[in-house]
Structure formats: C-alpha cells, structure tokens
C-alpha cells in the first residue's frame, strides 16, 4: 500500500499551551480528561523525529510545549506525575515506572537532535534527575524504555561509561527474564503477552547495536521472531487484544486491537532490520504498518486521512471512533521511522 503523507495537523489540534490532551470524543479534544506524561513524551519523540526529516520552526515550538510539560511533571525526587487535570492540578501522587522510562527516552531523543543548546541542556537535566530511578525498575517494559533512552544518551555522550554500564545492566536483567520464562514453544520474557510487546526485543537489538554482544542479538531475534509468528496471520498483522491478552498455555484475545502494539512492532521490525540487514524485517514493518491502512482482520482504516488522526483501535464490531493522543503518536512515530529507513 502507498504510504500516506506525514501530517502533524491532528497532533497540533490536540495540543494547547499546557501539552497534548489525552482523550477525544470522536476527533474533538476531551479537555476534562486532561493530559498524561506518557502521551507528551511520545509526542516529543515524534516531533524530534519529524525535525530530523523535515525541520520547521512550528514543529520546534511543539517541542518546547512537550519538553516544558515533562519539566512541569517531574517531581523534585526525579520521578514524574503522569496525570494532569485540565486545571493544571496533578491527579496522581506519582506516575508509573513506564512513565519515567518513556520520559527519559524522549529526553534522550532531544539530546541527539539538532535542537538548540538550551533545549538539550534542559533535556539532560530532566534525564539526569530521573536517572537514579532506573536501577530500581521492576517492570520489563520500563527497563526496555530506559534502555532505549540510555541508547540515545550514549550517542550524545559516548564517553559516559556509567550510561553504558546501566544499559548493559538492564539488558542483562531482560536476558535473565528470558532464560527463566522461555521454552521450546514460548520464546518470551514473561508468561504472557500484553501491551507494547515489541519494546522488549527492540531494547535488546539496541543494546546489541551499542555493544556488539551477540547474546543480545540472539535473544532479540529469537523473541521477536516468536511474536511475529503469533501476530502475523496469513499476511495480516493481528495484534494481541487487550480484552484478556495472551497467557502462556491459554487462548489469545483477538480484540480490542490497539495502535500502541502496531506502532511499536513497526519500530522493532525496523530496529531488527538495522541490526541484521534482514530483508524479512523490513518487509514485516510494512505489513504491520498496513494494519493502520486497512490490512487488518476487519478491513477498516484505523488511520483517518481526513483528520490526520488515528482511531483508538478495533473492537469486534468495528472501529473505536475516538481518536486519542496515544493512537496518533504511535501511528506518527511508526510512519516517521518508515520514512527514515527509506
């Protein structure tokens, strides 16, 4: 399928002076739902990737909004609030490990960008304040997000051996998870598949690219090939559904299918391609991305070319008609990565 043009108009429509609004009613922002750090971190990544490809002062202004949001949401101890009301009051005491990991990953992208020195200095300060929490992470996905952020930080500061050591420490923990949980018929890090599954394999591909340690490449390939075999059915990408997920030895849920899974699987496939030069991974990335464009189990367009937004997913009866922040940023990052791999 022909790739749609890259448009940021819907991203802008969800963004006000505070940040990116979390939810919509159809394609209209639901201000009462407020904002999340998760969404603004992903929006920051999307905008930095866009700037690397196209540039644009108006996109740099979006970067300012999202980076400022992360600064506002970071607590004095380095962790982050995740949920902010439209009245700019915090709605939680502290955010999740995922929230910290995604924020550091986003700041890492700023550090390797062509943005101004002031923006990079701020991103480094936010990253450095959150850095001490990385060794305390217990969630494999949070560790994966942190690894992806550390990989960016290492590109910006290759002389910082502490970064390399922490990246390897987290990767070794993922390896331990894999060796404990995997078996002949279950090549995975956990006894279940849930959300953003590809990030675990992607983190090990990135660690391999930085260290050239073959053990990381081996497990990254083996685990990613496993989830590809589960989620590619007769040439169609079928994400693990969030209504039950997929537990080892059980039945996998087919719905609801969400853009977060499709987006991260595209990114992981392209990271696998860069790590191995394996053509099958480049082809897999295009097949997975086509899920957004109607090559899915219901044959519906998840991406909305009219609004430039993306529907929140597919349920058993059709589209979720809302077009929230998570959906569009996951779509955009995947679309941008495809463009950058041309």
Report the range of poorest mean pLDDT among 8-17, 51-60, 250-259: 51-60
Q: How far, CA to CA in Å, does 238 sit from each of 104, 109, 225? A: 30, 30, 15
Closest CA to 163 of 121, 195, 206: 206
Question: Over 90: is that where the pLDDT of 260 sits?
Answer: yes
Share the mean pLDDT of the chain.
97
pLDDT value for 57: 84
245-270: average pLDDT: 97
pLDDT value for 117: 97
Question: Over 90: is that where the pLDDT of 77 sits?
Answer: yes
Burial tier of 231 (Cβ tally within 10 Å: 0-12, 13-18, 19+): buried
DSSP of 125-191, one letter per residue? HHHHHHGGGGGG---HHHHHHHHHHHHHHHHH-TT-HHHHHHHHHHHHHHHHHHHHH-BTTB-SSSS
Name residue 232's beta-bridge partners: 237
E strand intervals along the chain: 24-25, 28-29, 35-36, 83-84, 192-193, 232-233, 236-237, 246-247, 303-304, 309-310, 313-315, 318-320
pLDDT band, very low/low/confident/very high, at 186 (cuts 50, 70, 90): very high
User: How far does the chain reach from its first CA to its final CA, in angstroms?
Assistant: 15
225-233: average pLDDT: 97
Question: Over 80: is that where the pLDDT of 1 sits?
Answer: no
CA 39 to chain centre: 10
pLDDT digits (tens, 9 = 90+) for 313-332: 999 999 999 999 999 999 99
Q: Is 319 helix (H, G, I), strand (E, B) or coil?
A: strand
Question: Over 80: is that where the pLDDT of 11 sits?
Answer: yes
Closest CA to 21 of 115, 84, 114, 111: 84
d(Cα 280, Cα 273) in Å, to the nearest integer?
A: 8
Question: Over 90: is that where the pLDDT of 172 sits?
Answer: yes
CB 19 within 8 A of CB 36: no
The predicted model scores a pTM of: 0.97
| CATH-assigned architecture of domain 9-340 | Alpha/alpha barrel (1.50)
CA 29 to chain centre: 22
pLDDT value for 305: 95
134-146: average pLDDT: 97
d(Cα 329, Cα 19) in Å, to the nearest integer?
A: 13
pLDDT digits (tens, 9 = 90+) for 81-103: 999 999 999 999 999 999 999 99
Could you tell me the residue ranges of all domains in the chain? 9-340
Q: What is the DSSP letter of 31?
A: G
d(Cα 33, Cα 282) in Å, to the nearest integer?
A: 37
Q: Provide the angle, in degrees to the nearest 10, between the axes of the packed helices 279-289 and 259-276.
A: 160
pLDDT value for 342: 78
Q: What is the DSSP letter of 19?
A: -
139-164: average pLDDT: 96
Buried b or exposed e, range 41-68, using 16+ CB within 10 angstroms? bbbbbbbbbbbbeeeeeebbebbbbbbe
CA atoms in the 13 A half-sphere facing the CB of 32? 1
pLDDT value for 62: 97
Q: Tokens for 78?
A: 């380095």
- No. of helices (H) and no. of strands (E), the chain: 12, 12
Closest CA to 205 of 195, 196, 197, 215: 215
């Amino acid at each position: 399928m022909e790739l749609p043009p890259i448009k940021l108009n819907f991203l802008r429509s969800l963004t006000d002076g505070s940040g990116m609004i979390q939810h919509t009613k159809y394609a209209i922002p639901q201000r009462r739902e407020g904002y999340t750090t998760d969404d603004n971190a992903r929006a920051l990544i999307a905008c930095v990737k866009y700037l690397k490809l196209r540039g644009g002062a108006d996109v740099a202004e979006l970067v300012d909004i999202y980076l400022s949001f992360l600064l506002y949401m970071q607590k004095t101890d380095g962790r982050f609030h995740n949920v902010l009301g439209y009245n700019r009051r915090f709605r939680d005491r502290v955010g999740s490990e995922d929230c910290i990991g995604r924020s550091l990953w986003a700041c890492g992208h700023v550090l390797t960008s062509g943005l101004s020195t002031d923006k990079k200095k701020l991103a480094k300060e936010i990253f450095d304040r959150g850095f001490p929490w990385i060794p305390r992470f217990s969630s494999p996905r949070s560790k994966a997000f942190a690894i992806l952020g550390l990989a960016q930080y290492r590109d910006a500061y290759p002389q910082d051996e502490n970064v390399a050591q922490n990246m390897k420490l987290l990767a070794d923990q993922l390896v331990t998870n894999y060796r404990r949980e995997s078996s002949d018929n279950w090549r995975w890090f956990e006894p279940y598949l849930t959300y953003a599954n590809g990030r675990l394999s992607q983190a090990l591909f990135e660690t391999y690219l930085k260290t050239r340690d073959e053990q990381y490449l081996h497990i990254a390939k083996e685990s990613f090939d496993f989830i590809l075999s589960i989620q590619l059915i007769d040439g169609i990408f079928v994400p693990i559904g969030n209504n039950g997920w997929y537990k080892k030895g059980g039945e996998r849920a087919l719905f609801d299918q969400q853009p977060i899974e499709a987006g991260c699987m595209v990114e992981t496939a392209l990271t696998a391609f860069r790590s191995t030069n394996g053509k099958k991974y480049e082809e897999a990335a295009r097949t997975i991305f086509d899920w957004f464009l109607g090559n899915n189990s219901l044959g519906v367009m998840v991406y909305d070319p009219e609004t430039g937004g993306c529907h929140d997913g597919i349920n058993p009866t059709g589209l979720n008609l809302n077009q929230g922040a998570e959906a569009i940023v996951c779509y955009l990052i995947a679309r941008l990565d495809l463009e950058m791999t041309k």
